[in-house]
Amino acid sequence: MLIPYRKMHGTGNLILIVDQRVANLPPPGGEKLRQLGNQASGPGFDQMMWLSPADDPSCIARYRVFNADGSEVEQCGNGVRCVARYLSGHPGAGQSFSLQSPAGPIAASVFADGQVAVSMGEPDFEPARIPFIAERMADTYPLAVNGETFEISAVSMGNPHAVLQVADVHTAAVSALGPLIEHHERFPALTNVGFMRVRDRGHIDLRVHERGVGETAACGTGACAATVSGQRQGLLDEEVSVRLPGGQVVVSWRGSGTPVWLKGNAELISEGMMDL
């Protein structure tokens, strides 16, 4: 069966949107997802956003998120920006609306210049809910990896994140440390891993090893996680520009009890049909 897709990118993160709000077909299984995610055998993507009718009447669509390795995850900040940009061109959507995500309702606004701002919900630092194994909540935790100890922050942005501070993101051991921390026994559901350099109170550099994918050009929830971790430690202001290999996003957070906002681009790459 051939179904249409739209391939987009948010800050270089490759997003495949499959709109099933009318046909409401179920997503394919893991093996098929892996085939589609590989550019040698399918359209290729970092994350697939599978759209269906919303159960919540306040939302215009529901989405599920799948990684290129076939795993389903809770959230994707760059993906939801692409979904919002795509839906804003549809009748009745308007420029501001809500989406139903696995991590809860998401507010989105699409601006005339094509930039998209999405509310990513409140960060959760409680270890049991990340999930992360720790005796108590703290701003940072020592993590033993291959005989070395690294100081990390742990936070959920609807999905788990570990954040390390580094002196230089260009020389950070992303390919070596990323998989080891992703699969660390203290992260029962695995984790995304961010390598952050604080340039000043309003700017950081970031590279992210994504759970189930590996390093990507950008990770929206990773940008949020790094920013709020730095803010909790008193290193960053309320609004922070995050420079990633794929480009720049802006993250803002006013502190406990308020949502994190993520703003950045969402660009069309191509449209096509794929065989399920």
> What one-character-per-residue DSSP string does 260-273 give?
-EEEE--EEEEEEE
Buried b / exposed e along 15-45 (16+ C-beta atoms within 10 A): bbbbbbeeeeeeebeeeebbebbeeeebbeb
Burial of 245 (0-12, 13-18, 19+ CB in 10 A): middle
Segment 43-79, tens digit of pLDDT: 999 999 999 999 999 999 999 999 999 999 989 999 9
Beta-bridged to residue 250, according to DSSP, are: 241, 263
pLDDT tens digit sequence for 205-246: 999 999 999 999 999 999 999 999 999 999 999 999 999 999
CATH superfamily of 2-121+265-275: Diaminopimelate Epimerase; Chain A, domain 1 (3.10.310.10)
Give the pLDDT of residue 90. Answer: 80
pTM of the entire predicted model: 0.92
- Say which of 59, 82, 219, 224 is annotated catalytic: 219
* Residue 273, Cβ density class (10 Å: 0-12 exposed, 13-18 middle, ≥19 buried): exposed
**Average pLDDT value for the chain:** 96
| CA gyration radius, the chain | 18
Domain residue spans in the chain?
Answer: 2-121+265-275, 127-256
pLDDT of residue 1: 87
Active site residue 76: yes
The answer to whether the 2-121+265-275 and 127-256 domains have the same CATH topology is yes
Annotated catalytic residue, options 59, 76, 82, 224: 76
219 is catalytic: yes
CATH architecture of the domain formed by 127-256: Roll (3.10)
Which of 10, 116, 27 is CA-nearest to residue 64? 27
Average pLDDT over residues 73-92: 91
